[in-house]
């Protein structure tokens, strides 16, 4: 019995060692996106995008001679659950990097866990700024790469005088609108010409709110809606605009969270002419984009599946991470984070994405007009890439603050007046 017991222990030890060896032969990639709940309409596609990129990289031989192994979890549009799932990815699954989150409230939930456990998160969606973490790389747009240029376009090209700032009730819309309100007032817009409205996630009854917007826009001044409405609430919102006869000609809407994926689920005929501000559209005509779309359709096995801006941001972030790991010769978070600064990869619009010292990218800004087929026609774009700014120049508490994660500053909120890093490093 003793011999059998000892033999069993020996076999168990060999199995355990083999399992650990096999685990060491792969590089684990966390995928933290909502596959259910109100944000599944947007986030499921990003999960599929990461899986496609991993598949492509493995066909090239992986990274550092190791295969990439995806670890997919579903935080189910439940913001506290994001933190729990992130902790599991880092402590249980031992992932080397995570691509994930959409809403800022989910990112804020994850942030303390990522910093505590020294993880690495690539965040692929436009956001409100006012943050810079040593453990997060922000591959979506900062406000100066989306919100501010969109307002400038409406003001200068369309002559908008009255502004409806409509958003979902959480940190991204509230902070973005705080920046936009300050920016509009600095441009001479009066308080009575700014209407601000917030609705909960998944809001479905838009009749009274759209009526208020219609009334607000009937004062004889050109009016526009700047929309930070997120998730599946966009479907009934746009339907109600059509129901009440609000067209792009009388009250144009420019959206920051509506892309090709969201439009694929609704009748776009009443929405033709309304706008969105992004850094990429599927309709962009470049060889890089053509190849990306082709690869996407092959991987997903559905030629009707669209591409969108957060997919491009995921693509850029993934390629930068691979390049940084290869440069560092390791997946060690600190070494990869240092190696990635200054690296460049092609974007899908024909330009270059460069990782800046503040963990943000250089990005072009595009304004697109909704077409009947659910695509966007670019009506305006910047002449060159714009550097992402982590801290807004239009908020008193932020205008003197910069982020620089290189020596000697090595800080996410360095005050250029006091020459000090204030509070936490984000």
In CATH terms, are 16-141+287-362 and 144-285+368-387 the same topology? yes
**Residue ranges of the alpha helices (H) in 274-332?**
287-300, 309-328
Residue 104: which of 126, 88, 84, 89 has the closest Cα?
Answer: 126
Q: How many CB atoms lie within 10 A of CB 423?
A: 8
Kindly tell me if the per-residue pLDDT of 19 is higher than 80.
no
| Fold type of domain 144-285+368-387 | Rossmann fold (3.40.50)
CATH code 3.40.50.2300 for 16-141+287-362: yes
Mind listing the pLDDT tens digit for each residue in 67-111?
999 999 999 999 999 999 999 999 999 999 999 999 999 999 999
pLDDT value for 270: 76
Lowest mean pLDDT among 10-19, 99-108, 139-148: 10-19
pLDDT value for 423: 60
Tokens of 410: 């090595």
Distance CA 233, CA 382 (A): 30
Mind listing the pLDDT tens digit for each residue in 216-261?
999 999 999 999 998 888 889 988 998 999 999 999 999 998 899 8
Kindly tell me if the per-residue pLDDT of 3 is higher than 70.
no
Average pLDDT score over the chain = 93
**pTM for the full predicted model:** 0.90
Mind listing the pLDDT tens digit for each residue in 262-300?
888 778 887 899 999 999 999 999 999 999 999 999 999
201 touches 233 (CB < 8 A): yes
Kindly tell me if the per-residue pLDDT of 9 is higher than 90.
no
Cis ω before 64 (30° cut-off from 0): no
Read off the pLDDT of each residue in 174-179 and give the average, rounded to a whole number. Answer: 96
Residue 390 DSSP SS3 = coil
pLDDT value for 328: 98
Burial 105-132 (b: 16+ CB within 10 A, else e): bbbbbbbebbbeeebbbbbbbbbbbbbb
Q: At what angle do helices 309-328 and 287-300 cross, to 10 degrees?
A: 100
Read off the pLDDT of each residue in 205-221 and give the average, rounded to a whole number. Answer: 96
**Residue ranges of the alpha helices (H) in 134-206?**
147-153, 171-186
Mind listing the pLDDT tens digit for each residue in 292-318?
999 999 999 999 999 999 999 999 999
pLDDT value for 17: 44
Tokens of 25: 């032969």
Q: Where are the domains of the chain?
A: 16-141+287-362, 144-285+368-387
What separation in angstroms does the CA of 283 have from each of 41, 108, 322? 21, 32, 27
């Amino acid at each position: 019995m003793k011999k059998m017991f000892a033999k069993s222990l020996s076999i168990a030890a060999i199995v355990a060692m083999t399992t650990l060896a096999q685990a060491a032969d792969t590089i684990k990639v966390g995928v933290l996106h909502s596959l259910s709940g109100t944000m599944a309409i947007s986030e499921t596609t990003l999960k599929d995008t990461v899986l496609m990129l991993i598949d492509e990289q493995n066909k090239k031989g992986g990274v550092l001679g190791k295969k990439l192994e995806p670890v997919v979890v579903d935080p189910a549009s439940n913001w506290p659950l994001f933190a729990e799932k992130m902790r599991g990815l880092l402590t249980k699954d031992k992932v080397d990097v995570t691509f994930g989150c959409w809403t800022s409230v989910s990112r804020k939930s994850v942030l303390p866990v990522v910093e505590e456990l020294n993880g690495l998160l690539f965040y692929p969606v436009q956001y409100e700024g006012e943050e810079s973490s040593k453990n997060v790389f922000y591959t979506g747009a900062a406000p100066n790469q989306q919100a501010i240029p969109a307002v400038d376009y409406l003001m200068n090209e369309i002559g908008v005088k009255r502004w409806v700032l409509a958003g979902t009730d959480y940190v991204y819309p509230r902070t973005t609108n705080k920046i936009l309100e300050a920016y509009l007032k600095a441009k001479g817009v009066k308080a009575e010409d700014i209407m601000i409205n917030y609705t909960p996630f998944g809001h479905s009854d838009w009749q009274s709110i759209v009526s208020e917007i219609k009334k607000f826009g009937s004062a004889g001044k050109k009016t526009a809606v700047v929309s930070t409405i997120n998730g599946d609430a966009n479907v009934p919102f746009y339907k109600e605009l059509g129901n009440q006869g609000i067209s792009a000609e009388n009250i144009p809407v420019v959206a920051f969270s509506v892309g090709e994926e969201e439009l694929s689920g609704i009748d776009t005929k009443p929405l033709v002419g309304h706008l969105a501000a992004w850094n990429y559209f599927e309709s962009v005509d470049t060889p890089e984009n053509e190849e990306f779309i082709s690869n996407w359709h092959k991987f997903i096995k559905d030629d009707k599946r669209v591409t969108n801006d957060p997919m491009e941001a995921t693509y850029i972030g993934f390629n930068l991470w691979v390049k940084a790991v290869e440069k560092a010769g390791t997946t060690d978070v600190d070494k990869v984070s240092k190696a990635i600064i200054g690296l460049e990869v092609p974007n899908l619009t024909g330009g270059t994405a460069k990782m800046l010292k503040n963990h943000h990218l250089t990005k072009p800004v595009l304004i697109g007009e909704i077409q009947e087929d659910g695509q966007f026609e670019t009506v305006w774009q910047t002449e060159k890439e714009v550097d992402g700014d982590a801290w807004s120049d239009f908020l008193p508490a932020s205008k003197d603050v910069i982020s620089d994660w290189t020596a000697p500053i090595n800080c996410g909120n360095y005050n250029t007046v006091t020459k000090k890093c204030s509070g936490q490093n984000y």
